[in-house]
Amino acid sequence: MPEKDFIRETLYLKINNLKEDKGKIVKAAALIKEGRLVAFPTETVYGLGANALSPEAVKKIFQAKGRPADNPLIVHLPGWEELSAVVDVVPPHAWELSLRFWPGPLTLIFKAKRGVPQAVTGGLATVAVRVPGHPVALALLKEAGVPVAAPSANLSGRPSPTRAEHVLRDLVGRVDLILDGGPCQMGLESTVVNLVATPPVILRPGGVTGEELRKVIPDLVLSPGAKALTAATPPSPGMKYGHYAPKAPLHLLEGEEARVRKELLARAYAYRQEGLKVGLIVAAPLKTAGDFVLFNLGGSSDLAKAARDLFAVLRAMDDEGVDIILAEGFSETGLGAAVMDRLRRAAGTNISRF
């Protein structure tokens, strides 16, 4: 594609009040209908949206993000009533899950209806669908009147954006419009559940916890691929790609709290000694950290805060120009499963257990 088609002028519009800013939503929806790219807030992370029924529009998403073409996209709808746009067979648990958790941070995988572009499904026979819980996202989806394919609005491999300025940093000049709806409340992406598999599988832990989902689907399992990051044939294409990486290498220390702390500090001081600028991500207050770049995400008592702030902290580490990041593990109950999943992916193979 010629360069002029790729580099685009990016409009930036702040939504303060949906009633007063209706014109901005209408503008954003018009761009979607024209086949252009609009970044918009959801309750999880910012999404980069395009008309899901237009292969040309969807291809622009991959180009703007530098995303591998075989990694499928989530289709966003304003309500479950619109499901028939991309799905015609609705498996048993789907209605109950959608009634309980939509709008919200849950993505369900169905058999794709004929006509859903390959660019959306990555060539799979299935399609991922979500009704997001953010008022700006819902207003945009209603106004657009077409299903909207949207991955997270970051450059591929970077931490997902939880604020409009993160989107601006990554995608200015690559998208047509950024709608700024303030910081995302949840801060981690939706839980992805494959309902086509027997038993159904959690492919990506996220905003809706495994505990909550098992109240509806008792035999729901966590995909082994969601744990083993280098599975040869991952059940979800997204699992095989590097993710959430800050610029500096991140080392994750998991295990018994006191031992993890001791090791974290020993390593931190050793790196300092070598003249490195060290970033620390901790799960509880840490007093002894002299001249480290320190972020306390709050511990197991407030996993919602850890979830909300994690990606912004990874990006802040980049801004601080740290050479290395040491992070301690979190409790894996509730939202902690999603927090740990993202930390492990950010760490790649740099994980030690104590």
CB-CB neighbours of 323 under 10 Å: 14
Bridge partners, residue 193, by sequence: 108, 202
Distance CA 92, CA 70 (A): 28
Residue 218 is inside which H or E element, if any?
none
Per CB under 6 A, 162 contacts ligand TXA? no
Tell me how many residues contact Mg ion (CB under 5 A): 1
Contact region for Mg ion (CB under 5 A) — 135-143, 150-158, 199-207, 291-299?
A: 150-158
Task: Give me the residue whose beta carbon is nearest to ligand TXA.
Answer: 238
Site for ligand TXA in 14-53 (CB under 6 A): 42, 44-45, 47
Per CB under 6 A, 119 contacts ligand TXA? no
Residue 92: cis peptide before it, omega within 30 degrees of 0? no
Closest CB to ligand TXA among residues 163, 261: 163
CB-CB neighbours of 68 under 10 Å: 13
Q: Out of 103, 133, 238, 329, point to the residue binding ligand TXA (CB under 6 A).
A: 238
Which residues neighbour 148 within 8 Å (Cβ) at sequence distance 6 or greater? Answer: 32, 47, 49, 50, 51, 52, 75, 76, 77, 140, 141
Measuring CA to CA, which residue among 97, 182, 99 is closest to residue 134?
Answer: 182
Per CB under 5 A, 152 contacts Mg ion? yes
Site string for Mg ion, 99-138 (x = CB under 5 A): ----------------------------------------
Per CB under 5 A, 190 contacts Mg ion? no
Site for ligand TXA in 62-81 (CB under 6 A): 71-74
Closest distance between Mg ion and the C-beta of residue 160, in Å?
5
Return the exposure string of 252-279: e unless at least 16 CB atoms fall within 10 Å of the residue's CB, then b.
Answer: bbbeeeeebbebbbebbeebeeeeebbb
Q: Which does 44 bind (CB under 5 to 8 A by kind): Mg ion, ligand TXA, none?
A: ligand TXA
Phi, psi of 53 (to 5 degrees): -90, 0
Residue ranges that bind Mg ion, judged by CB under 5 A: 152
Residue ranges that bind ligand TXA, judged by CB under 6 A: 42, 44-45, 47, 71-74, 105, 107, 109, 121, 124, 126-128, 130, 132, 150-152, 189-190, 192, 203-204, 236-238
